[in-house]
Amino acid sequence: MRRDPRVQNPLRSGRVILRQQPLRLRDRRSLSLRRRRRRLHPLPARLIQHELALPARRAPAPRHHRQRRRSASRSQPKLRNPSGSVRHDARIPARSGSRGLCLARRSSSRAALKVLLVYNTNSGRGRARGDAARIEQTLARSGHSVRTLQLGTKGWEIEPSSAFAASDAAVVIGGDGTVHAASLVAPLSSTPLYHFPTGTENLFARAFGMSRSIPALLAALTHPRVIEIDSARCNDRSFIIMCSAGPDAGVIHRLSRHRNGSITHLSYLPHILAEAARPSIAPLSIEADGRRILDARPGLAVVANIDQYAMRINPASRASPTDGLLDVVFFPAASVARLVGWGLRARSRLPIEKHGALYTRASHVRILSHDRPVPYQLDGEAPGHDGAASPRAAFGAPGFTPLEVSVCPRSLRVLLPPGSASA
């Protein structure tokens, strides 16, 4: 054995190089190169053990480190599993007073959640059914418990309120109509919603940055961020995005009377032309928080909770679902051409108040029509067209004026996607 002459006290310096056999030229060059790079600094323990080929010896930790580890292990909560052994488990607490998402920070496995998949068979020309199957397989492989709830032409297949109440999160696969149907039940159970968009416009998913990505959905369930938003109630029905009374609702009523299966943007074209020939324009009166702000003027009235609208027109561009108020917008127009001009102005993000439009905020809104009943729509759906027969146009009939709209503050919980700035 030879000792490196540069090391005087090998036990203190930590740099011991012992050789039982002479090194080959290649090994000698690589060793000298490593020494030159390290500039004769003490070698790490792993490199010393590799060069010496000695059995690894772990130095005992200092006494104060051992005491710190002991005190930290005592402070962690201990839970016993069925086998009787003790394991440490730190859980994220839920929000007090409501159902929350609890995830366990375990080193071996993730916490399993009860996930409800709500999908519409008519959405996206059948894509929703295939997406639901793929999402179910992915979540099951990740250890989550999945239950499916189908929404079709015959309504719910099982009781929705019990399904929502027994779930930690609900994933809505479909368009805004499917989200609208789920929003009628979700506030009663405080189960957070996540929209997996497969519809035509997907306004709800656009508002919160949700996409048709299964990895993003899995990340949202793994690291949950839940926000509470407002919903609204129009007459006896809830909505999330907006409601309107006027020609746009007339188009939706015409489409609902002839709808059979999934739709596209082209499906609206014949009904837009029919509405342009006989528009649903009548004098309207609006009351906001008991104060009359409009008296018998023809046009289009919009009550928005979220700043999203079809074709990215967004008439209520300042609407927020977390301020506890509804944004009321009225576009005065006696013809369809005037309404088209308002739509182009709103689509271009130009100011609308300077040209005669009305914009205000309120918690309770009442809309009346004169001369004849005016149709209204909720989240792109025509109330009263759920059954086989369409409602008759009459004052007070389902889907026709008058309207009583009120806000429901912080009544709906939304599961945000990763990277969303809506929180």
pLDDT digits 0-9 by tens, 122-178: 776 678 889 999 999 999 999 999 999 887 544 454 567 788 989 999 999 999 999
The DSSP code for 62 is P
Can you give the pLDDT at residue 49? 43
Architecture per CATH, domain 114-224, reads as: 3-Layer(aba) Sandwich (3.40)
Location of structure tokens 């007459």: 235
pLDDT higher at 251 or 33: 251
Tell me the CA end-to-end span of the chain in Å, nearest whole number.
68
CA dist list (Å): 52 to 12, 17, 58, 174 = 17, 6, 15, 65
User: Domain locations in the chain?
Assistant: 10-51, 114-224, 238-408
Q: Is 269 exposed, middle or buried (0-12, 13-18, 19+ CB in 10 A)?
A: exposed
User: DSSP E strands: which ranges in 92-245?
Assistant: 104-105, 114-120, 145-152, 155-156, 169-174, 193-197, 226-234, 237-239, 242-245
Four-way CATH pick for 238-408: 3.10.20.340, 3.30.230.10, 1.10.1060.10, 2.60.200.40: 2.60.200.40
- Residue 396 — pLDDT band, cuts 50, 70, 90? confident
Q: Is 247 helix (H, G, I), strand (E, B) or coil?
A: helix
pLDDT at 331 over 80: yes
Query: What is the distance between the alpha carbons of residues 46 and 362, in angstroms, rounded to a whole number?
Result: 70
Where would I find the H helices in 167-309? Answer: 176-183, 186-189, 203-208, 214-222, 247-258, 269-277
Query: What is the distance between the alpha carbons of residues 173 and 157, in angstroms, rounded to a whole number?
Result: 16
Can you give the pLDDT at residue 121? 80
This prediction's pTM: 0.71
Location of structure tokens 């949700």: 210
Helix (H) or strand (E) holding 29: helix 25-38
Over residues 99-107, the mean pLDDT reads: 38
